[in-house]
Amino acid sequence: MFSRALRRAVQEVRVPSSTLPPTFLLPSQARYFNSTEQHVEPPMSNSGASQAPLASHSPIATEAIASAAAINAAQPTAPSTPYAITESVKELLPLLNAQPSKFITALIHGRPYLLTVGDTVRLPFHMPGVVPGDVLRLNRASAIGSRDYTLKGQPHVDERVFECRAVVMGTEGEPARIKIKKKQRNRRTKTVISKHKFTVLRLSELRVKELGEIEQ
């Protein structure tokens, strides 16, 4: 009698759904069976609707591009502004040009070199892409002058005022240097051998232009 009453009481007991634990606290299998799969339908392809506007706008875009190209071709290119010469430069430049010998403070890779025609300079680096016999134009200078007159730039002299050319003479190599590297409290030593190369230039031409050449 007692077992039948206990079984009947257990069968009549029903746990309401509100008292069940949330889904994320259930085991993985329970979450799998309790979760519902979401079915998402792919969006409808509007290939026909999208191609129609493109086809209708393509002639307009072609006409716009053609008209823009015609306008750009019709516009004349603006001429380069001539070098502005002050009155003092107009008066003193012929006097500087009449001097027998001149010097230039040329800037090569940002370093100044005081040179005159015939001087040879060994650059503190190896210039790539040059071979002996190449002629280089030096268009950066901070000053050009002679014994009596000096034309200084702010910070550079305009390259249309002068012509300066240098010839590549060749490449020189320094004697090999041997350096022994060693760390503290370590008996191992490392020997490093270095031999740098330098490019040699010779100034072949230095000319200050006339006023007529500059104003053109």
Range of the domain at 122: 87-171+201-215
Instruction: Assign 3-class secondary structure to 53-118.
Output: HHHHHHHHHHHHHHHHHHHHHHCCCCCCCCCCCCHHHHHHHHHHHCCCCCEEEEEECCEEEEEECC
Query: Is 182:190 a contact under the CB 8 Å cutoff?
Result: yes
Residue 99 included in any domain: yes
Residue 143 included in any domain: yes
Structure tokens at 170: 């060749």
Residue 66 included in any domain: no
Output 31-34 pairs: Cβ under 8 A, ≥24 positions apart: none
Residue 149 included in any domain: yes
Residue 163 included in any domain: yes
The count of structural domains within the chain is 1
Task: Note if the pTM is more than 0.85.
Answer: no
Residue 27 included in any domain: no
Q: What is the pLDDT along the chain (216 residues), one digit of tens a residue?
A: 556 766 776 666 555 555 555 655 555 554 444 444 544 455 555 544 444 444 444 555 555 565 555 555 555 444 455 556 778 888 888 899 899 899 999 999 999 999 999 999 999 999 999 999 999 999 999 999 999 999 998 889 988 899 999 999 999 999 999 999 999 999 999 999 999 999 999 999 999 988 888 877
Residue 28 included in any domain: no
Residue 177 included in any domain: no
